[in-house]
Structure 1
Amino acid sequence: MPRNSFIQMTKLHNVRGRIYYISSPKKQENLYAVYETTDRNFWTDLAKYNQAEFKKSGTEGKCIEARELIIALPESFTEYPPDRLLQIFTDHFRQTYGTDCIAALHHNKRKTNYHIHLIFSERTLLEQPIEKVATRNMFYDEKGNHVRTKKEILDEEGNIRKRCKVIHKGEVYERQIFSIKDKRFKAENFLDTVKQDYTNLINQYV
């Protein structure tokens, strides 16, 4: 009998902490499989990059480092090999949206809710980083704000104050390693589209 899928999505403000939580046997009593499309360094770099971009934007609120889908599965799916099942569902998302993921297959404590946690990036890693090189000396105050002259970061004795920074002409001052965020993930119909995609996938295996 055809099944509808139940999926919810959340915004992640600490993606590395969340990855540890869903993938660690110390945190999950019923953890059956973990599947990753990239290495863990990717998520560390992504978190740092998103936080830097968020700070630069001046936007209020919390930085969204990544997003997470929780995908409920039919209990009959426990008959499938966990590693293979998780790979099929994770690769389906990656192939559809072209972004890296990490996923974990769980049961709740009472073993009544078989489900996947799928964390995905809203950005892709660039094949070649884009670097911006200073055409003149650049000065930054303690808060990381760009100021016009060196005088603005000097103390009374004429020394550069602690935590102030000078980037000299010819040095790289900005390095872009990720794409811009994919607007599809913010679209109102995104979750509905994902639900339909996974409903179709689930019904292939019911």
Structure 2
Amino acid sequence: MESKLHNVKGRVSYISSPKRQENLYAVFSSVEDSYWELLAEQNQRDFIKSGTDGTCIKARELIIMLPPSLIDFDHELLLKYFTSKFLEKYNVGCCAALHHNKAKTNLHIHLIFSEREIREEVERKIASRNMFYNESGKHVRTKKEILDEDGNVRPGCKLIKKGDVYEINYFQPKKAEFKSNAFLENMKHMMTDAINEIVTDENEKLQVFQKGGPYLATKKIGKNNPKEAEIRTDNYLRQEWNRNVDCLQVLRKQK
């Protein structure tokens, strides 16, 4: 499951805080805390410049569901193992946390990641003339647009003089790959393979069901879901169907 994050600093703090997480086992970060503040600032600035409606996406989050038996592994090593699989392919900052839900029935990893790679050299843009920004941080053409009735710069507005640095970029543009369905499919296969490499119980080994294939995917039961009993019954029937498909596949191979 993937989520778009509009408050990445708050989310990183939330998933990694022992005071706010009842069953937090391990935290791993490939970057310093200040990274997320710089990332949020650049994303917000670029979002304002784009003129796009809606809310700025400052990072993304994956939730990786794990088989119950993996709780017996060293927690720090387990988290680093899965995070390293992601970092081997994607050169972006990330923060991950290993959790259980309150009832300890759902072992999972929260993996927050940037959509941008860090620049090898920081980009500093120099003003070729005086520049003016309104209360929303949007660039306007003339000084009059940021003045009040008395001719003073309004609170929240900004004037940058010619020759001064008006923008600092620490990150590359966002990678379009991260908002594609292909990325999510790739992550499903990558993490499924990573799980299957370390589970010892064959019954816990996973597979990614192909769309249009004979297998049926089960549904996640969210917290306080009023349809929990209905979904559990449906999942049971789906699992029985998948077992029958497995039996048919074995019979076909034997012929």
TM-score of the superposed pair, with normalisation by structure 1? 0.90
CA shift at 1:69, angstroms? 0.7
Q: 1:15 is matched with which residue?
A: 8
Q: 1:45 is matched with which residue?
A: 38
Q: Measured at CA, do residues 44 and 153 of structure 1 come closer, stay the same or move farther in structure 2, by a change above 3 Å?
A: closer
Q: Measured at CA, do residues 142 and 115 of structure 1 come closer, stay the same or move farther in structure 2, by a change above 3 Å?
A: closer
Could you report, residue by residue, the CA deviation over 1:157-188 in whole angstroms, capped at 9, with x for unpaired residues? Answer: 54444433221111111111111111111112
Q: Measured at CA, do residues 129 and 76 of structure 1 come closer, stay the same or move farther in structure 2, by a change above 3 Å?
A: same
| Pairing 1:102–2:102 present | no
| Pairing 1:185–2:178 present | yes
Whole-angstrom distance in 2 between the partners of 1:152 and 1:111: 57
- Structure with greater proportional strand content: 1
Q: 2:187 is matched with which residue?
A: 194
Please point out which of 68, 86, 97 is paired with 1:93: 86
Q: 1:147 is matched with which residue?
A: 140
CA shift at 1:129, angstroms? 1.2
CA shift at 1:155, angstroms? 4.4
Q: Measured at CA, do residues 13 and 162 of structure 1 come closer, stay the same or move farther in structure 2, by a change above 3 Å?
A: closer
- What secondary structure, in the 3-state scheme, does the structure 2 residue paired with 1:173 have? strand
Please point out which of 104, 109, 114 is paired with 1:111: 104
Q: 2:209 is matched with which residue?
A: none
**Aligned-CA RMSD value:** 1.6
Q: Measured at CA, do residues 104 and 170 of structure 1 come closer, stay the same or move farther in structure 2, by a change above 3 Å?
A: same
CA shift at 1:154, angstroms? 4.0
Whole-angstrom distance in 1 between the partners of 2:147 and 2:43: 30
Equivalenced residue count is 199
Q: 1:24 is matched with which residue?
A: 17
| Pairing 1:164–2:164 present | no
Q: Report the AA paired with residue 141 of structure 2.
A: R
Unaligned runs of 5+ in 2: 200-255
CA shift at 1:137, angstroms? 1.8
CA shift at 1:152, angstroms? 4.1
Whole-angstrom distance in 1 between the partners of 2:99 and 2:21: 8
TM-score of the superposed pair, with normalisation by structure 2? 0.73
Q: Measured at CA, do residues 156 and 102 of structure 1 come closer, stay the same or move farther in structure 2, by a change above 3 Å?
A: closer
- What secondary structure, in the 3-state scheme, does the structure 1 residue paired with 2:137 have? coil
- What secondary structure, in the 3-state scheme, does the structure 2 residue paired with 1:72 have? strand
Unaligned runs of 5+ in 1: 1-7
Q: Report the AA paired with residue 41 of structure 1.
A: S
- What secondary structure, in the 3-state scheme, does the structure 2 residue paired with 1:189 have? helix
Whole-angstrom distance in 1 between the partners of 2:137 and 2:60: 28
Q: Measured at CA, do residues 122 and 205 of structure 1 come closer, stay the same or move farther in structure 2, by a change above 3 Å?
A: same
Please point out which of 69, 72, 77 is paired with 1:76: 69
Could you report, residue by residue, the CA deviation over 1:16-35 in whole angstroms, capped at 9, with x for unpaired residues? Answer: 11112111111111111001
Whole-angstrom distance in 2 between the partners of 1:145 and 1:33: 41
Whole-angstrom distance in 2 between the partners of 1:157 and 1:109: 58
CA shift at 1:90, angstroms? 0.6
- What secondary structure, in the 3-state scheme, does the structure 1 residue paired with 2:181 have? coil
Q: Report the AA paired with residue 27 of structure 1.
A: R
